[in-house]
Amino acid sequence: MSGKPFYLLTLLRPANIITAITDILAGIAISGVLVFNTNSSHFILDLLLLLFSTIGLYGGGIVFNDIFDLESDTINRPERILPRGLVSKNEAILLGCLMLLMGVGLAFIVSVLSGVLAFIISLLALSYDKISKHYPIVGPLNMGLCRGGNLLLGMSISNDAVFNYWYIGIIPILFIAAITLTAKKEASGNNKAAILVALLLDAIVVILFVYVGHLLGFRFWILLPFLLFWYGINFFAKYKAFIYNQPATIQKAVKTGVLSLIPLNASYVAGSAGLFYALFVLSLLPLSILLSKKFAVT
């Protein structure tokens, strides 16, 4: 692929979108529907609708992030697609709008609750892109709410699961806040304090995961390797970024954090649906890594 289609696809950050897909799979696993309804045509349709919904929501949100950052990116990240003029601002706006409309529309086909969640996620994404990312506390929390909402969107395949287990959405909120903190000053470095807070949040995520998993009856002997893998790769990436506090190591820690959402989501799946489904989710990690070598991860 080359030319305009490639540049438009680059704006969508395909490697990031794979991680959003695993949010949905994790949410469905937590809901319990995955175990009992895999042969149902209705289940398969809802699954596909939610997967394409999150593709639209994530893709649209990240396109608008580049749109709102165009002025600053022209100075700080001139290598990006919009500053280089490879895609016009109007083309990017059209793409972002279409993706968000697709995300919300497909979710409403699943259920009213799914549609409302998708609409809220789209508003949260736009508020982050335009306003909250410029604030040190509200920004990371806002981004975390987007991911927590995406997990709930997957759970909304069963409305009862959202109302009964909504609190599990706190886990991705904290972890995404940690990634967002790590990304602070990634273009210039000198963010050791933010990385320390991010490391603390990662540790809290592990403790909270164990507690929530106990409440939900997760099978810890199955999920433990996935959870340790997730924590290990994040700890070492952030530790290296703290010691060598330069843009290159910080950006690598951010990239690791984003891609590590896949093993984190595999941990949910392992605890709630079993090893087979968890390994399937984890198998998406090599694909995401491969895409990250071709397309930027932010």
pLDDT tens, position by position, 193-248:
889 999 999 999 999 999 999 988 899 999 999 999 999 999 999 999 999 988 88
Q: pLDDT class for 1, splitting at 50, 70, 90?
A: low
Residue 297 included in any domain = no
Report the C-alpha dihedral over residues 107, 39, 14, 27, rounded to 10 degrees: 60
Same domain, 133 and 212: no
Residue 194 to residue 200: CA distance in whole angstroms: 10
Domain end call among 92, 116, 144: 144
Residue 289 included in any domain = no
Read off the pTM: 0.93
Q: Determine which of 18-32, 116-130, 183-197, 212-226 has the lowest per-residue pLDDT on average.
A: 183-197
- What pLDDT, on a 0 to 100 scale, did the predictor assign at position 136? 82
Same domain, 173 and 249: yes
CB 169 within 8 A of CB 38: no
Same domain, 13 and 118: yes
CB 87 within 8 A of CB 81: yes
Phi, psi of 294 (to 5 degrees): -105, -35
- What pLDDT, on a 0 to 100 scale, did the predictor assign at position 77? 84
Overall number of domains in the chain:
2
Nearest CA to 128 out of 141, 120, 139 is that of: 139
Residue 97 to residue 32: CA distance in whole angstroms: 33
Residue 208 included in any domain = yes
